[in-house]
């Protein structure tokens, strides 16, 4: 099916305060929803869309040590 995916990308060097996904709270999701609705309105996009998070953790100077997680359909955070 045709689906538009809005992706929030967050990186943290360390997980002392949690991974990058913890930076996306209900307020951020609400803002993403407003922006997505406006984008779809302006572009007359009438198909389903969802929100994902790509969270990475580690030293970007050592890419082999960076961990990446993909969280699909994160609207449960709102």
Q: What is the pLDDT of residues 35-57, one digit of tens each?
A: 999 999 999 999 999 999 999 98
User: Is the whole model's pTM more than 0.85, yes or no?
Assistant: no
User: Does the pLDDT value for residue 78 go beyond 50?
Assistant: no
**Which residues are 6's β-sheet partners?**
51
Strand partners, 8: 53
- The CA-to-CA distance between both ends of the chain, in Å, stands at 24
Q: Which residues contact 36 (CB under 8 A, 6 or more apart)?
A: 4, 6, 49, 51
């Amino acid at each position: 099916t045709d689906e538009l995916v809005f992706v929030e990308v967050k990186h943290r060097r360390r997980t002392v305060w949690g991974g990058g996904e913890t930076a996306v709270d209900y307020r951020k999701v609400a803002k993403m929803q407003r922006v997505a609705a406006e984008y779809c309105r302006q572009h007359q996009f009438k198909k389903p869309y969802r929100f994902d998070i790509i969270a990475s953790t580690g030293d970007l100077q050592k890419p082999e040590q960076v961990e990446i997680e993909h969280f699909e359909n994160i609207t449960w955070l709102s």
